[in-house]
Each structure stands twice: as C-alpha cells, then as structure tokens.
Amino acid sequence: MGALLEGWLAGAAGGADAAPPDVTIMAGSGGHGDGSSGNGSGEGSGSEARRSFPAHRTILAARCPYFRRLFAGGFADSAAPRVELPETEPEALAAVLRHLYTGDPGELAEGLLRPVAELADRLLLPELRDHVAARLVRSVTPGTVVDGMLWADRAGEPLEGLLRRLVAYFTKHRAEVAAQEPGGLRQLTAKASPGLLEQLVMRGVQAS
C-alpha cells in the first residue's frame, strides 16, 4: 500500500518535483499512537489498527467537498497536520484516496463495497457512492439480498436508489431467497423500517 500511495501522490501532484504531502489522514479504530510514519503505515495492533495516509491539502480540497469545508472552516482542526476519520476502515480510505488522486477507486473486494459507499457518502462524494452502489447491485445474490436491503435501509436517504434496486431484485427472486435464506423474511419483518416494508408490499402487489 505504501508504494501505491507514493505513486498516486507523485502522479497527481506533478511527479518527482511535486511538493511533499502536507497532511496525514488517520483511519481505523485502534490505539492512538504518537507517531505516524505515512505511506499507509499502521499504528497499534490487530485488524482494526490505525493507519496513516499522507496527502496534499490542495488536492483533497479541490476534489472532495468534505475536506474543502474542513480546511476552509477556520476551526482549530483546519490547519492541523493530521485529520482523524474515526471508525473508518483503512482499506476503504485507501480506495477513496485513490479515487481522489486518480479518478478510479480500483477493483474493490466485495467486502469493501459497503465501507467505501458509506465513506464516500460521509465525505460528500455522491458520484463515487453511486458508482460503488451499482457494483453492489451487480454482486447481490439471493443469499445476500436481505442483508443488503437492511443495510441500505439503515443508511437512509443517500442509498434510497440502491434500496429500490435491491427490493426489485428481491421481488424477482423471492423463491431463490426463500430457498437460500430461509430466515430472511423473518429478519425483514423484525428489522426493516416501515418504509422498506411498504416498498416490499407494493412490489409484491405489483408482481402478483
């Protein structure tokens, strides 16, 4: 990851003669260490160890509304050398930074799709969020659609479009869902919001 980040930084900032990174983005939920060595290095131990990612304020501000507001906000954190993104999966942040520097988040493992979509929404990057949401729809199966609907339901308005597409998939593949995920209907009844239940009922009526 360190070599990849160095490549993105050099390429986006103008090559070897570019200014060095001037801010470090911290991700993960491990212990707070004192040092940050950059280049995607880790702090602490375990799967949730914090990671540090060097970056350029000008690039982040130009390409991400969240960072633009943060750096121009006039708060104490605006000029801080480190920006904390607590409860953020480091690999998800790496994908978002790659998108900001290259325009492409790269090939994402299925387990990263949700964290990247959530982080993109948090950082006010709707195009990236919707791009990843489309990948989620393409990867859904009868065995995963119930969990996917409940996740999108919890996310609320930002993922309404994704939720509608998952509901449509669920309606079309009800028999397969019942066979592969026998407890899915009970799970939906127990955990779905009234809005999601209404969508399911309306879809079911239309499909009848």
Assigned domain for 194 exists? no
Mean pLDDT by 10-residue block, N- to C-terminus, for the chain (208 residues)?
A: 52 61 88 43 56 96 96 77 93 97 93 96 97 95 95 95 96 92 88 94 72
Distance CA 41, CA 35 (A): 10
What CATH number is associated with residue 16?
3.30.710.10
Exposure of 177 by Cβ count < 10 A (0-12 exposed, 13-18 middle, 19+ buried)? buried
Strands 23-28 and 82-86: parallel
Six-digit token pair at 130? 């919707």
Q: Which domain holds residue 11?
A: 1-108
Exposure of 208 by Cβ count < 10 A (0-12 exposed, 13-18 middle, 19+ buried)? exposed
Assigned domain for 150 exists? no
Distance CA 164, CA 157 (A): 11
Assigned domain for 19 exists? yes
Assigned domain for 137 exists? no
Assigned domain for 21 exists? yes
Distance CA 180, CA 193 (A): 23
Assigned domain for 92 exists? yes
| pTM summary value | 0.80
Distance CA 163, CA 38 (A): 37
The DSSP result for 86-139, as a single string, is ET--HHHHHHHHHHHHHS------HHHHHHHHHHHHHTT-HHHHHHHHHHHHHH
207: how many CB neighbours lie within 10 A of its CB? 10
pLDDT of residue 1: 46
Tally of structural domains, the chain: 1
Q: Which residues contact 167 (CB under 8 A, 6 or more apart)?
A: 149, 196, 199, 200, 203
Assigned domain for 60 exists? yes
Assigned domain for 3 exists? yes
Amino acid at 154: R
pLDDT of residue 105: 92
